[in-house]
């Protein structure tokens, strides 16, 4: 049997390979027959942003990288970590980096510039907040509890599906024409957190409410839950600063990269409900 081999891309390193986007990028590349090395703190060998002595082993023999930073590219230490990682990659056989970044975050944009000035081929995927925060991320327990209590006001955000992010990243890693592009990617609709609660209520057939929490009440709740200070500070920054309306506009990044529109939140919600990522209303027996 003849098997069509994909264009040669060499070995792709996925940093954050068990994460929401990394997992999907790795699956797509593997399904297409590309060679992938996925790393995180739980991989063997492990990759840890706090242990640079292990980075060279991860980069050994790698020709391109899908780079995610955890917990967030907006953290102060990200800049020095990204610089050190990119400098190391440039001294090895790496030819291309595709960086996942966040919209409206000056510190993330500083990290983008490090990649852009690395001398390597680069593509930036600068994303809005993810749909999957509600199904796989921090907001999932709130949807299960039926109360989305966050200091999000009525600011609309164009939530993006991580399947679209993965498609854009894979295109940048496997096709010509994406080098030197900053793809600012959003979903097709601006939605407030109250809108999200309504959408999920409709799909799940049970009430999901939105409570606009005062900022201090949110910080107190995080402290009560024992969330460590750096993470609480990051969440406060994301809601108080990044969600101040600066990102309340749609962009054409998915269309530009893939030649198709991005997935709507409603389609994400229906598909996720069908996959039973949330519990539905109890079925009333006839």
Ligand X SMILES: NC(=O)c1ccc[n+]([C@@H]2O[C@H](COP(=O)([O-])OP(=O)(O)OC[C@H]3O[C@@H](n4cnc5c(N)ncnc54)[C@H](OP(=O)(O)O)[C@@H]3O)[C@@H](O)[C@H]2O)c1
Nearer to ligand X, 16 or 262 (CB): 16
How many chain residues are in contact with ligand X, going by CB under 6 A?
26
- Assess 268 for contact with ligand X (CB under 6 A): no
Q: Where are the alpha helices (DSSP H) in 123-259?
A: 140-145, 162-174, 193-204, 215-224, 229-237, 253-258
Q: Which residue has the tokens 């609309």?
A: 156
Nearer to ligand X, 64 or 68 (CB): 68
| CA quadruple 265, 268, 273, 278: dihedral, nearest 10 | -70
- Helix axes of 78-91 and 106-116: crossing angle, nearest 10 degrees: 10
Q: Rule CB under 6 A: which of 80-119 touch ligand X?
A: 100, 102
- Assess 19 for contact with ligand X (CB under 6 A): yes
Among 59, 124, 127, 213, binds ligand X (CB under 6 A): 127
Q: Which stretch binds ligand X (CB under 6 A): 66-74, 143-151, 249-257, 277-285?
A: 66-74
- Assess 22 for contact with ligand X (CB under 6 A): yes
Question: How many Å apart are CA 181 and CA 42, to the nearest integer?
Answer: 31
Among 28, 34, 49, 178, binds ligand X (CB under 6 A): 49
Nearer to ligand X, 41 or 206 (CB): 41
Burial of 47 (0-12, 13-18, 19+ CB in 10 A): buried
Query: Residue 124's beta-bridge partner residues?
Result: 99, 182
Q: For residue 244, how many other CB atoms are within 10 A of its CB?
A: 12
Nearest distance from residue 14's CB to ligand X, in Å? 9
Query: Residue 182's beta-bridge partner residues?
Result: 124
- Assess 129 for contact with ligand X (CB under 6 A): yes
- Helix axes of 20-31 and 162-174: crossing angle, nearest 10 degrees: 50
Among 11, 27, 41, 248, binds ligand X (CB under 6 A): 41
Q: Which residue's CB comes closest to ligand X?
A: 19
- Assess 192 for contact with ligand X (CB under 6 A): no
- Assess 20 for contact with ligand X (CB under 6 A): yes
- Assess 121 for contact with ligand X (CB under 6 A): no
Residue 22 corresponds to which tokens in the numbers above?
A: 């990394």
Would you tell me which residues interact with ligand X (CB under 6 A)? 16-22, 40-42, 47-50, 68-70, 72-73, 100, 102, 127, 129-130, 133, 137
């Amino acid at each position: 049997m003849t098997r069509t081999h994909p264009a040669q891309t060499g070995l792709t390193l996925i940093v954050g390979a068990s994460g929401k986007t990394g997992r999907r990028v790795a699956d797509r590349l593997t399904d297409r027959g590309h060679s992938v090395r996925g790393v995180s703190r739980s991989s063997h060998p492990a990759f840890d942003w706090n242990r640079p002595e292990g980075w060279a082993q991860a980069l050994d023999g790698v020709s391109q990288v899908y780079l995610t930073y955890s917990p967030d590219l907006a953290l102060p230490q990200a800049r020095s970590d990204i610089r050190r990682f990119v400098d190391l990659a440039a001294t090895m056989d790496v030819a291309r980096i595709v960086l996942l970044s966040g919209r409206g975050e000056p510190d993330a944009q500083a990290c983008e510039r490090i990649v852009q000035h690395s001398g390597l081929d680069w593509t930036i995927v600068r994303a809005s907040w993810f749909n999957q925060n509600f199904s796989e991320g921090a907001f999932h327990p709130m949807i299960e509890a039926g109360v989305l209590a966050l200091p999000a006001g009525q600011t609309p955000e164009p939530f993006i599906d991580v399947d679209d992010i993965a498609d854009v990243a894979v295109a940048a890693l496997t096709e010509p024409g994406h080098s030197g592009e900053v793809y600012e990617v959003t979903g097709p609709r601006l939605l407030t957190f109250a809108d999200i609660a309504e959408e999920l209520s409709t799909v799940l057939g049970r009430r999901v409410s939105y409570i606009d929490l005062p900022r201090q009440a949110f910080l107190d709740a995080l402290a009560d839950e024992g969330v460590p200070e750096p993470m609480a500070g990051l969440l406060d920054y994301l809601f108080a600063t990044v969600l101040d309306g600066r990102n309340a506009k749609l962009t054409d990044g998915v269309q530009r990269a893939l030649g198709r529109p991005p997935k709507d939140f409603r389609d994400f919600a229906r598909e996720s409900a069908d996959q039973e990522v949330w519990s539905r209303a109890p079925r009333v027996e006839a």
